[in-house]
């Protein structure tokens, strides 16, 4: 079997719940050796449930250490000596108190890459920064939902997952450089960066972002959800050629240019809504996809998983969603999530 592109890279993880563990699991899927350093009580996600823990911790090792103890710190130092990177997902004050920064560890390993994944940055303080709070603080919630309704949130952890991807990228970038150092990734900044064109429109043109019905795109028309004879359809028309193809299939006349469709948004949406009422969401998908139109019936998660069996992997007794990164000639080995302290360490029960 071809080794993974990250074979030989050793990554330590000190974190909990989602963002940090998901980042390191993606690295493990690519062949890195990931050692999860857990406190005596274990990662908090173990308390959520076995499948939850497995979903972000497959293919890792677990070492149980009390980092508040001298013995735990000594063992941490030994692990750092042999590691390429350490990713930490804790409050800034805790990261510093436990000595998990580059400045604290460089004497152990000058080339260690230390990644701090926090709510507002290593210098940003300890204010609680859970996913939904960050969505509210960065304008994401205000952009989500219908304009006549309240702000809302997506049904999954958009901030934590996005921050995980960003932290993994930052970690690899510094490892590739061959230099040790501190990498600082803030959940708050990750989400602001993802509002790229919305933010640019405000900063450069004074165009305030606004919510549009049915999740409509602010530039492209039609690009949103539409009701059909049965179910809802996501339709995304980006240029005039796609519009002509769609309009011919749907029996719609007029609005040939992007500028005209944007200017006459309400008229276009009314015409498209009437046309789409003639068939079901699945029917329109079957008709439009072969024509190259970006379209999909709205599915539930179980339906989406059934439609993508190649994304399901087995890790021990768990069936999980696999890595989105496919490397030609490489097939990841999906090992089950580790038992707490399965790979050693010093377990010290803190005094009450």
Q: How many residues appear in the chain?
A: 352
324 exposure class (CB count in 10 Å sphere: 0-12, 13-18, 19+): exposed
Give 328's contacts (C-beta < 8 A, 6+ positions apart). Answer: none
Among 89, 83, 76, 90, residue whose Cα is nearest residue 113: 83
Among 42, 206, 215, 11, residue whose Cα is nearest residue 115: 11
* Residue 160 a catalytic site member: yes
Catalytic residue of the set 29, 66, 160, 189 = 160
Supply the residues annotated as catalytic: 160
């Amino acid at each position: 079997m071809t080794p993974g592109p990250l074979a030989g890279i050793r990554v330590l993880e000190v974190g909990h719940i989602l963002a940090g563990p998901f980042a390191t699991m993606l690295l493990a899927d690519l062949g890195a050796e990931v050692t999860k350093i857990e406190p005596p009580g274990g990662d908090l996600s173990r308390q959520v449930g076995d499948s939850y823990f497995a979903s972000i911790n497959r293919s890792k090792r677990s070492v149980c250490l009390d980092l508040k103890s001298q013995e735990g710190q000594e063992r941490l130092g030994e692990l750092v000596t042999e590691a390429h990177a350490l990713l930490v997902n804790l409050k800034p004050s805790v990261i510093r108190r436990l000595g998990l920064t580059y400045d604290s560890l460089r004497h152990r390993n000058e080339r260690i890459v230390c990644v701090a994944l926090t709510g507002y940055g290593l210098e940003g303080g300890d204010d609680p920064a859970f996913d939904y709070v960050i969505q509210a603080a960065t304008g994401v919630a205000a952009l989500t939902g219908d304009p006549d309704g309240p702000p809302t949130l997506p049904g999954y952890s958009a901030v934590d997952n996005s921050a995980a991807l960003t932290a993994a990228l930052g970690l690899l970038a510094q490892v590739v450089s061959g230099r040790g150092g501190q990498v600082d990734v803030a959940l708050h900044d990750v989400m602001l960066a993802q509002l790229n064109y919305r933010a640019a429109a405000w900063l450069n043109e004074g165009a305030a972002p606004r919510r549009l019905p049915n999740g409509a795109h602010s530039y492209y028309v039609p690009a949103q959800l539409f009701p059909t004879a049965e179910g809802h359809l996501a339709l995304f028309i980006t240029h005039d050629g796609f519009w002509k193809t769609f309009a011919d299939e749907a029996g719609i006349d007029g609005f040939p240019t992007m500028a005209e469709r944007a200017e006459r948004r309400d008229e276009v949406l009314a015409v498209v809504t009437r046309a789409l009422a003639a068939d079901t969401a699945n029917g329109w998908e079957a008709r439009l996809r072969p024509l190259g139109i970006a379209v999909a019936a709205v599915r539930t998660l179980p339906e989406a998983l059934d439609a993508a069996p190649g994304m399901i992997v087995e890790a021990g007794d768990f069936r999980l969603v696999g890595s989105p990164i496919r490397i030609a000639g490489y097939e990841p080995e999906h090992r089950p999530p580790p038992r707490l302290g399965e790979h050693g360490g010093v377990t010290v029960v803190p005094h009450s």
